[in-house]
Amino acid sequence: MSADLTLDLTATRPIPLDVRLRVAAGELVALVGPSGSGKTTILRTIAGLHGRVHGRICCGDETWLDTSSGIRRTPQDRRVGMVFQDYALFPHMTARRNLTLAMGRGNPSRQAERAAGLLARVRLQGLEERYPQQLSGGQQQRVAVARALARDPRVLLLDEPFSAVDMMTRGRLQRELALLRRSIDIPIILVTHDLAEATALADRICVLHNGRGLQTAIPEELFRKPASPHVARLLGRQNVFAGIIRHEGTSERLSWGRHVLELARPSGLAPGSRVHWYIPDSDIVLHRRGRPSLGERENPVSGVVQDCLVLGAQTSVTLQCGEVDQLLRLTVSTHAARRNGLEPGVEASVSLLSNGIHVMPESGTRPPGRAVSRQGEAND
């Protein structure tokens, strides 16, 4: 029977934690963050392999951990399926035997039949009697997934399951996981350093730093509306700046140096409030030389090209905006970059689309009526 997983964990040492998370049945949540941010520790805590924490872990009506009540179920009692980074297959056992061992006691013939079915489910039919060293890295990864499912788990935990394979194999395994999870109606938590992987596979992403959950959101919201400049930078977002809110009659504007930018959404902050703001490079539109358009009237900004880095069909452009002494980064098609003669030292103009500008109040300055949870998510 499928059920949601909820956790509320804190710890000060040896590894700090401050995380609150709910993963619905059938949902995949990715944990991302730099090395040492607590991602694997969270998985090990859920599985019962790390015990120096305070808080509560529940899966449906089962309480796996409640330090206030002295409840701490053993790993064997939690029915967690876990795929480790190095797969942790028993080298002296065949693929089939690795699975039947995970099933525990039972009818041997039925277990062998079920193991064969699980291996077929991950496209390893016919390889049941091979040992791990006779399998490729991708095949070992599939055995590890099948073994995790052999326990009939209530939760599936994946600790960087694709890190040990090459790029082509990784892409294929990611597609297979995306297909497999459609038939798995249990909470799934994926730990990864790869933001592209998290975006492609996860329903939601949780950003961690120093053991603390900073923001949890669907990928599109996370990358367009980070909760803070810190979250934006952890996600590799570069166009984060400082500004001041100003009001012109009934309209709200954002002052950025000598520029006054239109905002599509009012921040609700008082005039004069200092803020951080962010704009995705997808909402920065390059002005085409010699062919002005009406769209260029929306928050126009000019500067001098500092760098042009060709990345195949796309070119990364860094624009030095002299009036504010800031670097603005955008990505354009290589064809558009060449057509507009973009190269270091050349002047260029762009428009900052108002719908893409995301305002982040400075710490301690919040719009009226909004509260922020410990996860860092804004709750209306």
> To 5 degrees, how large is the angle CA 231–CA 328–CA 269?
55
State residue 86's pLDDT score. Answer: 86
Residue numbers in the chain where pLDDT is lower than 50? 364-380
Q: Residues of the chain with pLDDT > 70: what percent?
A: 93
Residues 210 and 114 in one domain: yes
188-191 and 28-32: which strand pairing?
A: parallel
3-class DSSP state of 303: strand
Structural domain of residue 347, as residue ranges?
A: 280-352
Rg (the chain; Cα; Å): 25
Count of structural domains, the chain: 3
Residues 155 and 251 in one domain: no
State residue 91's pLDDT score. Answer: 95
Q: Token digits for 145?
A: 């997934």
CA–CA separation, 206 and 188 (whole Å): 13
State residue 367's pLDDT score. Answer: 43
DSSP letter (8 states) at residue 362: P
Residues 336 and 189 in one domain: no
Residues 305 and 338 in one domain: yes
Domain boundary residue among 232, 265, 300? Answer: 232
Residues 342 and 362 in one domain: no
DSSP letter (8 states) at residue 49: S
Residues 210 and 167 in one domain: yes
Residues 362 and 348 in one domain: no
DSSP letter (8 states) at residue 351: E
Residues 168 and 189 in one domain: yes
Residues 326 and 365 in one domain: no
Residues 163 and 260 in one domain: no
What secondary structure does DSSP assign to 223-280, as a single string? HHS-SSHHHHHHTT---EEEEEEEEETTEEEEEETTEEEE-SS---PPTT-EEEEE--
Q: How many CA atoms are closer than 13 Å to the CA of 165, on its beta-carbon side?
A: 20
State residue 290's pLDDT score. Answer: 65
- Tell me the sheet residues that pair with 23: 5
Q: Token digits for 325?
A: 């002494």
293, 358 in Cβ contact below 8 A?
no
Residues 226 and 182 in one domain: yes
State residue 294's pLDDT score. Answer: 52
What secondary structure does DSSP assign to 201-228, as a single string? H-SEEEEEETTEEEEEE-HHHHHHS-SS
State residue 327's pLDDT score. Answer: 94
CATH code for position 220: 3.40.50.300
State residue 245's pLDDT score. Answer: 96
Q: Which helix (H) or strand (E) holds 326?
A: strand 326-333
pTM greater than the 0.75 cutoff: yes
CATH code for position 325: 2.40.50.100
Read off the pLDDT of residues 265-321 as tens digits, 9 standing for 90 and up.
989 899 999 999 999 999 999 998 766 555 567 999 999 999 999 999 999 999 999
Residues 216 and 197 in one domain: yes
